[in-house]
Structure 1
Amino acid sequence: MKKILIASTALVAAGMITAGSASASEKIKLNLGGYSKWWVVGAWQDDSFEAATNTGTAGQGNANSVDVKGDNEIWFSGSTKLDNGLEVGINIELEAGGNTDSAGGGDQIDKSYVYVAGGFGKVIVGTESNGTVLMHTMAPDAAGNTGADGILTGGLAIARPSNVTAKVTTEIDTDAEADKITYVAPSFYGFTVGGSYVPNTAEDNQNVFNGTTTQTGSAANEIYGVAAMYAGTIVGVGVKASAGWVNYDVAQSTDRSNEYAFGTQLSYAGFTLGGSYRMVRENASGGVNSVANGNNASGDTWDIGLMYETGPWAVGAFYLNSTSNGVIATQGEDEFTVYQVSGKYNMGAGVDLLATIGHAEYDDELAKASNADANHNEGWAVMTGLSLQF
C-alpha cells in the first residue's frame, strides 16, 4: 500500500510539472464556515457515578444532573484553479469551545490540510481523517447525535468507567487526525475508492492504543488503509455502501493488526434504514498486551438505525453495541450499549432544533464477574439542542 500511494503521489507531481504553466490568476482567499451546536442535557446514572470526574472515576457528594454541552468549529477554507486545470486548496478547522472537543473545551486547531484535485482524483496532505472515515457509512440519526462527538455515544452524559475499553463508533478513527497522505479516486457510476498512509502517528501525538488509558500505549509506527464507497439509486431506492480496511504495527509485536469497517444505508419515500460494523483484531503476541491473556483492544462494534424525514421534520431510532477483550489479565469482555430516539426540526437555512432521549450502559469484565459498581454504570439522558451552520 505504501508503494502504491508513493507511486500515485509521484504521478500527480509529474503531471503538475509537465502540464504547463501553473501560475494562478490570484492568490487563494479564505472563506469562513463551520457550525455551532449546544445541548442542554439532563442525565441520571448509577449513584456511584453521580459525582464522577471527567475521567470516569467515581467521586463523592451530590452532582447536578443537568449540564450544558457544546460542539463548535470554525472552518477556514479556500481554493484556486491553476492555468493547467489543477485545483489547489486548503482547509483549517478551529475547535471553538464547548465540552465535546478533544481538549475538553480548549480552543485548538483540529484539522489542517492542503489538497490537489483534477481528473486523476484528489490528493490530501495533512491532518484530515483517513480515507476509510471519509467514505464510511453509518446508521442514520435524525439529530446527528452519534459517533465520538455524540452525547451518549461519546460518553458525555453517562460517565464511562475507566476500565471499559469498548469503542464508541464504527468509524476506523484509530489514527485520529495524525499527519497523513490520502488519495480519493474520481467517482465512476457511483463507485469510488481511496486510501491513506500515515508514516508516523507520533508526529501529531496521536497514538494507537493497546487498551491502556495513557499516551504511553503502543503507538503505531505506521498505518495504511484502503476504502471503497458506492452512492446511487437502484430501482428507485437510494443506496449508500462502504467498506474499509486499516493495518498498523503494535509496538510489542512483529505482527500487524487489522481493522475492518462496513456500512450500508437504504432510502425510500422519506425512510432511511442503515447500519454499520467495525471489527478490531489486534495481533499483539507477547508481554502485557498478549492476546492470550486478553489484555488487548480486539473487539466488535455495530450500529443500526431507522430515520423518517418529511419537510422540515426528521425522527429516528438508533442502537449501538460494542465489545472488547478488555485491559485486565483475566480473559473477559467489556461492553458498551446505547439506544436512543432523536428528532430534528429545521427552523430555517442552517438552523435546526434538536432533541434526543436515550440510555447508555457500560460493563467491564470485572463488573460482570463480581458486580463491582466501579466497573459498571448505566443511565438515562434527555437533551435538547440548537445547531447553527454557517
Structure 2
Amino acid sequence: MLRTMTGRLFLGAITILLSSANGQAMEKVSLGLEGSFTQYFGYVDNNDFGTGDFTGFDIKADSEVAFTGDTTLENGLQFGVEVILKAESAGADQIDGTYMWNEGGYGRIEIGQTDNAAATMHYSAPDVGLGINDSDIADWVTNPGGGDADSGFQSTYLFLGEDKATKLTWFSPRMAGLQLGMSYIPEFERDDNSQPDGDAAYRDGVSVGLNYVHEFSEGTELAIAGGFLTADNPNTVTRDASAEGYSLGFNLTLSGFTIGGSYASTEGNPSGGTDTAISLDGSGFDIGIAYAFDATSVSVSYYQGEVEGTVAIADDSNNESVMASVAHEMGPGITAIASLFHTRFEAETGTKNEGTALVGGIVLEF
C-alpha cells in the first residue's frame, strides 16, 4: 500500500514538472554562494584501549560551501538548485549533496542527492554546541566498536546507510500545522547513474515524515514529528533482511526554554544490505533542554544508543553521552561555541573506552 502511494506520488511529480514547461522564466537561474565554516579546538582525556594514545589537544574543522540558485516562472512556479561541497571529506565524497527543487501550490518537490523526508522533518533534543545526536563526538572520544549514525547507536535520524542516495521527495503545504513528506529511493546508492542493480543494494526504499508545528503565542511553540523508512533487501540475500526504521521527536519552546527529545528504532545491514555479518538493529534516544537569553544560549543534553553490530557476537555495542554547551553570537554570522561532554563507548566484544572532552569553536556563516 505504501509503495503504491509512493508510486502515484512519483507519477504526479513528473506530471507537475512536465506541465510546468508551459511557464516562461522571468530570468534564468543565477548561482549564489552560501555556507559555513566551523573551526574547533579542544582537549580530550580518553581512557584508551589496546594500542594507541588518543588523549591530548587537537584542532578540527567542519566546513561546507553551497552553490544555490532559483528562478520564478510567469505562472508563479519556482525552480531551484543546490550543490553542497564538503571541505573535510576524510576520503569520502567531496560533494555532500546535489539536487533540484520545485515549489508551487502543491508543495515542494526535491530530486537528487539529499536527506529523506523522515530525516528532514525530524526533531531531537536541542544542543547549541558540538551536538549530541548524529554528531562528531566519535572524532574526539574514540569508539572501539563499529556502531555509527546509520543506526540508533549514535543517531535518531533515519538513514540506514542510504544517506543522500538519489531520491524523489515531496513535501505537502503545511495546513493547520500539519505537513507530510514522502521520499522514493530507487536504490541505496549515490553518485551513480547506472541502472539500479537489485542484487547489489537495498531497493525501492520509501521514507515518510509527518510533523505538526503550532505556535500558541509569541515565544510558545510545540513541534512533534514521526518518521518511517523501509526498503527491500537485495535479491542476493535469501532471508528477509529488509531495512526498516521509525522515529519520534518533539520540541517545546516556552519563555526562552526549549525542551526536546527523540527516539528511533532501526533494522538492517550495512553495505546496502549485502553485509549480513553486521547488523544495524538497534535503538537510541535523547533528551535535552536549552535556554536562550539575548545573544547567548546554553543547553544540557543526554544520548543513549545501542546496536547489535557483529551478528556472531551475542552482546550489543552501547553508547552513552552527556553534554553541556554554550553559544554566544558575537556578530552577524559569527558565533562562539563550547561543549563539555563525557562519552562511554562499549563494543559488542566487551572493549570499552570512556572520554571527557572540552571543545570550543568559532562558527562563521556566510
TM-score (norm 1): 0.83
Task: State the 1:282 CA deviation.
Answer: 3.9
Q: Which residue of 1 aligns with 2:195?
A: none
Query: SS where residue 228 of structure 1 aligns?
Result: strand
CA change 1:310–1:288 in 2 (3 A) is closer
Task: State the 1:120 CA deviation.
Answer: 0.5
CA change 1:281–1:96 in 2 (3 A) is closer
Match of 2:348 among 361, 365, 373: 365
CA change 1:147–1:27 in 2 (3 A) is same
- Tell whether 2:41 aligns with 1:40: yes
Q: Which residue of 1 aligns with 2:215?
A: 233
Q: Which residue of 1 aligns with 2:303?
A: 320
Q: Which residue of 2 aligns with 1:69?
A: 60
Q: Deviations over 1:127-184 (max 9, x none)?
A: 0100111100010002252333x332xx110111134466211100221011111110
TM-score (norm 2): 0.88
Q: Which residue of 1 aligns with 2:182?
A: 195
Larger CA deviation: 166-175 vs 223-232: 166-175
Task: State the 1:80 CA deviation.
Answer: 0.5
Q: Which residue of 1 aligns with 2:289?
A: 306
In structure 2, what residue type is equivalent to 1:329?
A
- Tell whether 2:122 aligns with 1:130: no
CA change 1:9–1:296 in 2 (3 A) is closer
Match of 1:151 among 124, 127, 136: 136
CA change 1:283–1:326 in 2 (3 A) is closer
Segments of structure 1 that go 5 or more residues without pairing to the other structure are 49-57, 98-102, 206-217, 368-374
Q: Which residue of 2 aligns with 1:109?
A: 95
Q: CA RMSD in A?
A: 2.5
In structure 1, what residue type is equivalent to 2:84?
E
Paired residues for 1:16-35 under 5 Å: 16-18=17-19, 21-35=22-36
In structure 1, what residue type is equivalent to 2:356?
W
CA change 1:119–1:299 in 2 (3 A) is same
Query: SS where residue 230 of structure 2 aligns?
Result: strand
Q: Deviations over 1:5-42 (max 9, x none)?
A: 33234334434555673221211001110000111010
Match of 2:329 among 333, 346, 367: 346
CA change 1:45–1:20 in 2 (3 A) is closer
Task: State the 1:297 CA deviation.
Answer: 2.0
Q: Which residue of 1 aligns with 2:75?
A: 84
Higher strand share: 2
Q: Are the counterparts in 2 of residues 5 and 183 from structure 1 also a CA contact under 8 Å?
A: no
1-structure distance, mates of 2:118, 2:294:
32
In structure 2, what residue type is equivalent to 1:228?
L
Task: State the 1:329 CA deviation.
Answer: 1.4
2-structure distance, mates of 1:358, 1:32:
34
Q: Which residue of 2 aligns with 1:179?
A: 166
2-structure distance, mates of 1:322, 1:16:
41
Q: Are the counterparts in 1 of residues 45 and 55 from structure 2 also a CA contact under 8 Å?
A: no
2-structure distance, mates of 1:304, 1:364:
23
In structure 2, what residue type is equivalent to 1:151?
D
Q: Are the counterparts in 1 of residues 6 and 206 from structure 2 also a CA contact under 8 Å?
A: no
In structure 2, what residue type is equivalent to 1:129?
D
2-structure distance, mates of 1:32, 1:342:
29
Q: Which residue of 1 aligns with 2:317?
A: 334
In structure 1, what residue type is equivalent to 2:314?
Q
Q: Which residue of 1 aligns with 2:244?
A: 258
In structure 2, what residue type is equivalent to 1:230?
Y
Q: Deviations over 1:266-289 (max 9, x none)?
A: 1101111100000113499xx984
Query: SS where residue 189 of structure 1 aligns?
Result: coil
- Tell whether 2:78 aligns with 1:95: no
Q: Which residue of 1 aligns with 2:206?
A: 224
Task: State the 1:364 CA deviation.
Answer: 1.9
2-structure distance, mates of 1:307, 1:118:
35
Task: State the 1:92 CA deviation.
Answer: 0.6
Segments of structure 2 that go 5 or more residues without pairing to the other structure are 193-199
Task: State the 1:82 CA deviation.
Answer: 1.0
- Tell whether 2:41 aligns with 1:59: no
2-structure distance, mates of 1:12, 1:328:
41
Query: SS where residue 59 of structure 1 aligns?
Result: coil
Q: Are the counterparts in 1 of residues 269 and 276 from structure 2 also a CA contact under 8 Å?
A: no
Q: Deviations over 1:260-310 (max 9, x none)?
A: 0000011101111100000113499xx9848xxxx6221110000010101
Question: Percent of aligned positions with the same letter in both sequences?
Answer: 25
2-structure distance, mates of 1:220, 1:249:
6
CA change 1:234–1:90 in 2 (3 A) is same
Q: Which residue of 1 aligns with 2:362?
A: 386
Q: Which residue of 2 aligns with 1:268?
A: 254
1-structure distance, mates of 2:92, 2:349:
34
In structure 2, what residue type is equivalent to 1:68?
I
2-structure distance, mates of 1:15, 1:329:
49
1-structure distance, mates of 2:10, 2:107:
11
How many residues of Structure 1 are paired with residues of Structure 2 in the alignment? 348
2-structure distance, mates of 1:59, 1:388:
37
